[in-house]
Every structure is written in structure tokens, then in C-alpha cells.
Amino acid sequence: MSMKFTALLKTEAGVISITEEDGKISGIETGAPIVSFFMAETPLLKEAKKQLSEYFAGKRKSFDLPLKLEGTDFQLSVWNALKDIPYGETRTYKQTAEMAGCPGSYRAVGTANGKNPIPIIIPCHRVVASDGSLSGYALGTEFKKYLLELEAKNA
């Protein structure tokens, strides 16, 4: 049975919880975690908090953390494609579907984005509608707007 540990990080955008499982980052949520995990300051969670703090301070543009991703093959292909969207830039759902090797599956990209367990680190916030609107975001559209503005200011 795997152990899960969670740490909280206060940011200007609010509190986020970071979850570690099996020595890898497995989740990021806003606010306190929904499921009860062990609150801990493991070395990995300390490093994740450091890197996320640097990101929110505009000093980090990419992350170097081990990630635990579980999903369908399609979800994994989308989440991996998201990592290729440069800091401070956006892509449409259609462009992201093409990047994931599934042209025409742009609606499914939106569903996969909504199930991304590690937002911010896997930057699903960088995907926008074809008209440039923010559309949905698992952490809320205001949070998505905040992240995009933060990156635009520091790009």
C-alpha cells in the first residue's frame, strides 16, 4: 500500500495542496486536500514547495520534479504534450490535440485537461479556446487567468 503525504503552500492566488505518493508528486489542488492524507514536510514536498514558490515569484519557468501520472493512454499523451507548451504562451485545444498526435480530438483534450492531477506543473492552464477565451479550468477560471497573467508578466 502506498503512502500519501500532503503539504500546503500559501500563494498570492490562495492555498494549494501538493501531494506526494511513492516518492513522486501525484496531485495539486487548491485549498486543503479533499481526502485526508498525512500532512508532512518530506524532502520532495519541500522541493516542490520551493519550486512552486519560485514559479509564483516569477523566477522559475519549468519544473524538475518526479511525477506520478496515472491515466489512459490518451490522457497521458495530452498531459505530456502540455509540458511542451512554452512558459508565457498558450495553445488552443485543437493545437494541443495535434501536439498529442490526435488531431480532431480537441474536445477530448478539454476532458483530459480537466482530469490533469498536477496542474501548474503540467501546465493545462496554457490551453485556451480557439477564440482566445479561457474556458474551463479545474482550479477555476480566475486561477487560470492569474497564472496566465503571471507568466505573461515574467516571460
The grid coordinates of residue 34 equal: 479533499
Q: Helix, strand, or coil here: 35? A: coil
CA atoms within 13 A on the CB side of 114: 8
In this structure, are residues 27 and 18 in contact, taking their beta carbons and an 8 Å threshold?
A: yes
Cα separation values, 82 from 88, 89, 126, Å: 13, 11, 8
Active site residues: 124
Regarding beta strands 91-92 and 127-128, do their DSSP bridges make them parallel or antiparallel, or are they unpaired?
A: parallel
Task: Kindly state the DSSP code that residue 62 receives in the 8-state scheme.
Answer: S
Q: Which contiguous run of DSSP H or E holds residue 75?
A: helix 73-82
